[in-house]
Amino acid sequence: MDKVMRLATERGVVLFSKSSCCLCYAVKILFQELGVTPTIHEIDQDPEGREMERALMRLGCKAPVPAVFIGGKLVGSTNEVMSLHLGGGLIPLLRPYQALC
The verdict on residue 57 lying in a domain is yes
The verdict on residue 88 lying in a domain is yes
Q: 1 pLDDT band (50/70/90 cuts)?
A: confident
Q: What is the pLDDT of residue 31?
A: 96
The residue among 11 and 101 whose pLDDT is bigger is: 11
Tell me how far apart the alpha carbons of residues 6 and 4 are, in angstroms, rounded to a whole number. Answer: 5
DSSP letter for 41, please: E
What range defines the domain where residue 88 resides?
A: 3-95
Tell me how far apart the alpha carbons of residues 9 and 62 are, in angstroms, rounded to a whole number. Answer: 20
pTM exceeding the 0.75 threshold for the entire prediction: yes
The residue among 63 and 1 whose pLDDT is bigger is: 63
The verdict on residue 101 lying in a domain is no
Tell me how far apart the alpha carbons of residues 33 and 7 are, in angstroms, rounded to a whole number. Answer: 23
Tally of structural domains, the chain = 1
The verdict on residue 100 lying in a domain is no
The verdict on residue 12 lying in a domain is yes
Q: How confident is the model over 83-98, as pLDDT tens digits?
A: 999 999 999 999 999 8
The verdict on residue 82 lying in a domain is yes
Q: What is the pLDDT of residue 100?
A: 54
| CATH number of the CATH domain containing 33 | 3.40.30.10
Whether the per-residue pLDDT at 29 is higher than 80: the answer is yes
